[in-house]
Amino acid sequence: MFKKFKNKALQNRSFNVILLTATITPPSGVPLLARTDPKERLQDYEKGLQFYLKFIGSGIDAIIFAENSNSDISTLQKIVNQSGLQDKVEFLVFDGLDYPASYGRAYGEFKLVDYAMNHSQTIKIHKDNLLVWKITGRYIIRNMSKLIKRKPSNIDIYVNSRKFPIPWADMYLLVWTMKAYETFLGNILNHMIAEPTLKVHPEQVFSNLLDKPLADLKVTKRFNVTPLIDGARGSDNQNYSKGENLKKYYIRKIMNIIFPWLWI
């Protein structure tokens, strides 16, 4: 009886996949993109991949590295080969920048996500119990282990939202099931086209979309762990884990403990 219960539990367990999104060689003219040097970006991705590999077998079952500028990824493949985890990492490299640069980074990100969700063999095999952890590949989330361990059970979408100073839903880390992708996330690409005046950020648009009725999806709009990000922000090259940005992290962490209802 115990064996049957154990087998059933294993069948019901989610297959956790980290989807690392990457654009090694971005096109010119992308709005609000300051980190454009392919060498710097590749180094960011190398550091990120090395960091996330250690979670395989510790809450994560596989990694998909998806790159949409059809760039050379041989150094990334070498990192995986040296780790001995080749059978746990899938690389997808394609030319996915066939759209106006003015559409912006969020459009490119979700176009990349659509490609990965529809072409990954890992996702195809495990779609029935899939849980995707989409991470912007240049960013290292230092407290990722806590985020994995404290993830709520029974979710379809897990996202970190803020109410102040403006409604905002972060997109550097998103978690979803196949059900959530097929019924919601896979249908929002055109909403991510950058607003011409750049006065409305895609994170604001995403927040508004999440506020609409989402059928029977189970949506948790706030992480119960404040993410500690290490990496250069694409829009201005400032590091998330230094100076004023690090102060913001500690303020948000403390406020999340003292006033968990005050989403800042």
pLDDT per position as a tens digit, 207-255: 999 999 888 999 999 999 999 999 988 878 888 878 787 888 878 888 8
Helices 38-53 and 74-83 cross at an angle (nearest 10°) of 20
Q: What is the largest CA-CA distance in the chain?
A: 63
Query: For the chain, what are the domain ranges?
Result: 13-258
Neighbouring C-beta atoms of residue 166, cutoff 10 Å? 11
Q: Which residue has the higher pLDDT, 261 or 43?
A: 43
CA distance 184 to 207: 13
Sign of the CA dihedral running 58, 15, 94, 157 = negative
Check pLDDT > 70 for residue 1: no
Q: What token pair was written down for 259?
A: 């006033």
Mean pLDDT of 2-8: 39
Q: Which residue has the higher pLDDT, 231 or 18?
A: 18
pLDDT at 79: 99
pLDDT at 246: 84
Note whether 201 and 169 are within 8 A (CB).
Answer: no
Which residue has 């980190």 as its token pair? 35
Q: What token pair was written down for 45?
A: 């991705």
pLDDT at 10: 44
Look up residue 185 and give its DSSP letter.
G
Note whether 149 and 35 are within 8 A (CB).
Answer: no
**pTM of structure:** 0.93
**Roughly how many angstroms between the first and final C-alpha of the chain, as a whole number?**
48
Mean pLDDT of 140-160: 97
User: What number does CATH give the domain 13-258?
Assistant: 3.90.550
In angstroms, what CA-CA distances link 93 with 70, 162, 256? 5, 33, 38
pLDDT at 258: 84
pLDDT band, residue 12 (cuts 50/70/90):
low
pLDDT band, residue 71 (cuts 50/70/90):
very high
Task: Look over the chain and give the mean of its residue pLDDT values, rounded to a whole number.
Answer: 92
Mean pLDDT of 183-207: 94
Check pLDDT > 80 for residue 153: yes
CA distance 162 to 225: 13
Q: Which residue has the higher pLDDT, 151 or 9?
A: 151
pLDDT band, residue 261 (cuts 50/70/90):
confident
